[in-house]
Homo-oligomer: A and B are copies of this chain.
Amino acid sequence: MGRAERSNSEIRVVLVGVGAIGREIARLLLKKRGVKIVGAVDSAPNKIGMDLGEAIGLKEKLGVTICGSISELNVRGDVAIHATTSFLEKAYPQIIELVERGFNVISTCEELSYPYIVSEELSKKIDKLAKKHNVAVLGTGINPGFLMDTLVITLTAACQEIKRIIVERVIDAAKRRLPFQLKIGAGLSPDEFREKIFRYEITGHVGLKQSIAIIADALNIKLDGIYEEPIEPIITEKEVKSAFVTVKPGFVSGLSQKAHGILDGEPFITLIFRAQIGAQKEYDSIFIDGEPQINERIEPCIHGDAGTAAIIVNSIPRVLCMKPGLKTMKDMQIPSAIMGEMRKPCKNRDA
């Protein structure tokens, strides 16, 4: 659907991926005014043919039947919310298909939040195709997309100069859903953990590199490179437990990840991500050693799923106003919640 057709009517959204995050996004969309879910896609055999309302745990049907692939979507719309994978390579053919069908795309795909460092080639192809179809493509979410990048970039605006940036996200995994707890290796022995890392069965948080690259890009500096330390298990000394998992002393309660943006041979940006069952404190902190120095902290940390759904949905009007092409959060107008009607006049959009 062309951009010119989008005045006055509701924003029409299709949902590609009805997993845990897709569900949370769908529920949020249903609460918003000025926006309507007109289609849904999920490849899981048990979801195909189901009504979206049932699939997301509502009592009533929504009149939207989940189809098994994008090619079966028989609706037109303004925006596709894409929530199927963390990896660019897997997301790429889906994004391409959505763009070719005229959808603006907002994706939770972590690598898409700054895809240039994964594949310059695929990034350029997406950008070119999006421009051709007059739509914008954005990868975002709470992290990457907000806490360890957009918010950091925003805070630097108060700095005259910057010597060092250290960002930390510490999560008590006991408060998260089971797949998240398993994803961080909770309950494994140290050996099992290392083996799962080796077999790529534990990938940890995807996006630290993206967050570093987008911060550097916004600050207009050219890093020597980005160095990601090996994922480390956090071994608990005392028994900790969640509703699902009990971790005995000497076993793995979660994981710790660190990545560094190197400038002039020294770490300039350091991101630290820790998620474990029984974390003493949960917080998101940003420290900027600069002039002035900024010591910022959100405590407790922002809940990932709830925050991601918010960022995705709140990005809808912004993305509709962006110039066509592949975009990142740093290109965005200052983000915000949208409390009133979703459809806002596009002050910044291309003519």
Q: In the assembled complex, how far is the CB of residue A37 from the closest CB belonging to chain B, in whole angstroms? A: 16
* Bound CA span A347–B219, Å: 15
Interface residues on chain A, size class: 35 or more
Cβ of A348 under 8 Å from chain B: yes
Find out whether the CB atom of A340 lies under 8 angstroms from the CB atom of B221: yes
Cβ-closest chain B residue relative to A315: B157
Find out whether the CB atom of B221 lies under 8 angstroms from the CB atom of A336: no
Cβ of A41 under 8 Å from chain B: no
Within 8 A of B (CB), among A320-341: 323, 329-341
11 contacts between A and B (CB under 8 A): A142-B158, A157-B311, A159-B310, A160-B337, A219-B336, A219-B339, A220-B341, A221-B339, A295-B299, A331-B333, A332-B333
Q: Which of A219, A222, A313 has the most CB of B within 10 A?
A: A219
Binding site for B on A (CB under 8 A): 28, 31, 142, 146-147, 150-151, 153-162, 218-222, 290-292, 294-300, 302-303, 306-307, 309-311, 313-315, 323, 329-341, 344, 347-348, 351
* Bound CA span A151–B311, Å: 15
Q: Which of A300, A302, A315, A332 has the most CB of B within 10 A?
A: A302
Contact A157 B302, CB 8 Å, known A344-B220, A348-B348: no
Q: In the assembled complex, how far is the CB of residue A134 from the closest CB belonging to chain B, in whole angstroms? A: 15
Find out whether the CB atom of A150 lies under 8 angstroms from the CB atom of B311: no
* Bound CA span A31–B153, Å: 20
* Bound CA span A64–B338, Å: 47
Contact pick for A157, options B28, B222, B310, B351, CB 8 Å: B310
Cβ-closest chain B residue relative to A338: B220
Cβ-closest chain B residue relative to A154: B154
* Bound CA span A66–B157, Å: 29
* Bound CA span A323–B350, Å: 10
Contact A340 B220, CB 8 Å, known A150-B334, A160-B309, A335-B334: yes
